[in-house]
Amino acid sequence: MAVLTDRPAAAPARRNERAARTLATRFLGYATLVFFGLVFLYPFVIQIGNALKTEPDAAANPLSPFPDPLTLAGFERIFAGTNFPLWLGNSLLVTVLVTIGRVFFDSLAGYALARLRFRGRSGLFAAVIAVMAVPGVVLLIPKFLVLNQLGLYNSYAGLVVPLLADAAGVFIMKQFFESIPVSVEEAARIDGASIFRTFWSVVLPMAKPALITLTILSFQSSWNEFPHSLVSVQDPDLFTLPRGLADLVSGSLGKGTQYPLKLGAALLATIPVAIIFVVFQRYFVRDANDGSDKG
């Protein structure tokens, strides 16, 4: 910046021209930002507005963010007429268990792969990387087969256990543990701490930023998880929020009607992730950039 402005311009005329061009560029830049800002956020505004409308109002003025009249009828029907509370409870349970499991198991494995010298380590790491490339969608039928064979189909265990570890999380933790100086552990070892003790009380507390990242990512992905619940349970009592929502939209209530209700339910499913996103934005951004750097 400084270099640009300090540079002496050849002639005042050219300076004026450049200033005008800069102004035009800036205006164009803001115009683009605002336009796309609307494109990316207005659907959510519409969602909130229409969730609070009456059915005919939503059909007549879909673009307007202002309900006229404002009504909570949609939300009342969500709680009284659907299994929403049940889905919410299931989602919370699954998300909490999956997140705890992932943070613990991925850290353990990440630490071992980063620090412990054991036979087969590099082979294992290569396997973890390879597993990251397996496309989730082609595993739908296979996962159902295994859950069925293990007797986990249609159970909370079937919803939770397969998600308890993920290769990407192991990768994130391994990268982080490698950045911690070895000398820290050596001191603990010399004091006679066991390997697990060193990991648990010395290294893990230092890995807070990575743990937060992993917690947030696990929360976000297990809260939003849909295909897995599709093939691991069939019993409506075990539906999670996305599953219940999908059932609500494509199932019994049919298409084209009840929009305030459906938008409201979708809104409630979005709120927890939205809050986490607003509060912990930089951790999301960090992950996306890490992703572009992984090899």
Site for other proteins in 23-62 (CB under 8 A): 25-26, 29-30, 32-33, 36-37, 39-41, 43-44, 46-47, 50, 58-60, 62
Shortest CB 72 distance to other proteins, Å: 18
Within 96-135, the residues that bind other proteins by CB under 8 A are 105-106, 108-109, 111-113, 116-122, 124, 128, 131, 133-135
Question: What does the per-residue mask of binding to other proteins show for 142-181, with x meaning CB under 8 A?
Answer: xxxxx--xx----------xx-xx-x--x-------x---
Greatest CA separation for the chain: 81
Site for other proteins in 234-273 (CB under 8 A): 241-242, 245-246, 249-250, 255-256, 259, 262-263, 265-267, 269-270, 273
Write each residue from 203 to 232 as x if it is in contact with other proteins (CB under 8 A), else as -, in one continuous string.
-----------------x--xx-xx--xx-
The Cα–Cα gap between 144 and 152 comes to 9
Q: Are 264 and 78 in contact (CB under 8 A)?
A: yes
Instruction: Determine, following the binding rule CB under 8 A, whether residue 201 of this chain makes contact with other proteins.
Output: no
* Degrees to nearest 5, angle at CA 30 with 26 and 32: 115
Candidates 16, 19, 22, 201; binder of other proteins (CB under 8 A) is 22
Rounded to the nearest whole angstrom, what is the least distance from the CB of residue 24 to other proteins in the complex? 11
Closest distance to other proteins from the beta carbon of 71 (Å): 17
Give how far Cα 37 sits from Cα of 24, 34, 155, 219, Å. 20, 5, 42, 26
Q: How far apart are CA 9 and CA 29, in angstroms?
A: 24
Distance from C-alpha of 150 to C-alpha of 114, rounded to nearest angstrom: 32
Distance CA 67, CA 73 (A): 12
Identify residue 171 by its one-letter amino acid code. Answer: F
